[in-house]
Amino acid sequence: MRDFLPADKARRERVLSVIRERYRAHGFDEIETPVMEEYGRLHAGMGGDNEKLAFNIMKRGISADALAATSDPADLADLGLRYDLTVPLSRFYASHRAELPTVFRALQIAPVWRAERPQKGRYRQFMQCDIDIMNDASSRAEVELITATLDVLDALGLAGAHVRINDRRALDAMLDVFGFPEAERPGVLITIDKLDKVGPAGVAAELRERGAAHAAVDALEAFLAGLEAPVGTFGPEQIRARLPEGIPGEIVDHLVGVGEAVSAARGDAPLVFDPFLVRGMGYYTGTIFEIAHPDVAYSLGGGGRYDGMIGRFLGQDVPAVGFSIGFERIVDLVEIAETEGSRSVVLVHDKDVPVAQLLAHKARLVSDGARVRLERRPRNLKGVLERAEADGYTSFATVAAGQHDLDFKPLR
């Protein structure tokens, strides 16, 4: 968990303002949910490995004897800090469905908490920027999410970004074609998700160590060995070339339709089909996607369709699909300047300047739309001005007692 100095905070807010403005332009309405959710909801098997990283909140007034008598966290905690925004959104939608549009497009920008081992790009408190579409089972929902997110990346200046895309149904069908028993598949997917890190040989070796079906591992290894890098446009031929025989045609048709619609909306379709994109959340039921960028080896966000989650709270299934931007990773890659025409000034005043005179100058500048900082003139003016420039101020003026006109000079 980190502190942010004024310049860092201002830069983060500028990036957030771009994200918020572009998503709202695409029809997403911002909501807010509590930072805490019930323990049982956060540990209902929907959050994958993130559930193990949840910060749990102990029951109030628990006695020392009760504390010593149990080792089960569920007996000690009844609440927890949210580890993502999807579980709270599902509870929110189940609670407020009657008050929302038939197809609801939600925007959430808020901090979440995970008991991570801190390192660059991984923090215990971090910001998530999520958009979700509820109650739309058609591929239009995926297309809206993808085009809106690509629009955000364009607005942030992240040229070259593309979306890796797959479908969990295609993964299940492949594992069936290779011959993996259904009971083995969750563990097999965990290993396949490491393909980018350990390569085909590493995946096959780990699967054999796990005791996966030998013939199935051999079939998967042979397929991976012959798999070529994606080339050309995102179309049926390119998708079919990266799938084994026996994959249902409707899955390919769905992916092709998404690509065609994205291209129609944007004039291009920066999509890459990745048949072994897994994404670790067990609640995904259909299309899945991740943001990739040539300047970094890690993804900048992702999401997918999770049609079964809301039914856990509502008692009836509601189709849903979401996309989450990895804000902490993106904010390190972009630099958003202050709004053109904005003015931020420092008034460096002598010790004897009357308060009324000083604040009158400040009030006039503020009323004209400027951001104003007051600084008493020190012996070393250079240090004050360097600090102001680092904090985003662009000009300064000195103020003496009785002075009416201010002469502003640039800080840069």
For residue 49, CA distances in Å to 106, 111, 202, 287, 326 come to: 25, 18, 22, 20, 18
Q: Is 185 exposed, middle or buried (0-12, 13-18, 19+ CB in 10 A)?
A: middle
Digit-by-digit pLDDT tens for the chain (412 residues) are 899 988 889 889 999 999 999 999 999 999 999 999 998 888 887 766 788 888 988 888 777 777 777 777 677 888 999 999 999 999 999 999 999 999 999 999 999 999 888 777 678 999 999 999 999 999 999 999 999 999 999 999 988 889 999 999 999 999 999 999 988 888 898 899 888 888 889 999 999 998 989 999 999 999 988 887 776 678 888 898 889 888 899 999 999 999 999 999 988 889 999 998 988 667 788 999 999 998 888 889 999 999 988 888 788 889 999 999 989 989 888 877 665 556 899 999 999 999 999 999 999 999 998 999 999 999 889 999 998 888 888 899 999 998 888 999 998 7
**Tens of pLDDT, residues 182-194:** 888 888 988 998 8
What's the count of helices (H) and strands (E) in the chain, helices before strands? 16, 15
pLDDT at 340: 52
pLDDT value for 73 = 66
Burial of 222 (0-12, 13-18, 19+ CB in 10 A): middle
Distance CA 189, CA 207 (A): 10
Task: Summarize pLDDT for 200-224 with one digit per residue, the tens.
Answer: 899 999 999 989 899 999 999 999 8
| Distance between CA atoms of residues 100 and 90, nearest Å | 13
Q: What are the structural domains, with CATH classification, of the chain? A: 1-161+293-337 (3.30.930.10), 168-270 (no CATH), 343-410 (3.40.120)
pLDDT of residue 412: 75
Q: What pLDDT score was predicted for residue 281?
A: 67
Euclidean distance between CA atoms 213 and 184, whole angstroms: 8
Task: Identify the bridge partners of residue 108 per DSSP, sorted by sequence position.
Answer: 130
Burial string for 137-166 (b: 16+ CB within 10 Å, else e) reads eebebbbbbbbbbbbbbebbebeebbbbbb
Q: What is the pLDDT of residue 169?
A: 93
Q: Nearest 5°: phi and psi at 53? A: -100, 10
State the Cα–Cα distance between residues 54 and 42, nearest whole angstrom.
Answer: 8
> What is the structure's pLDDT at 338?
64
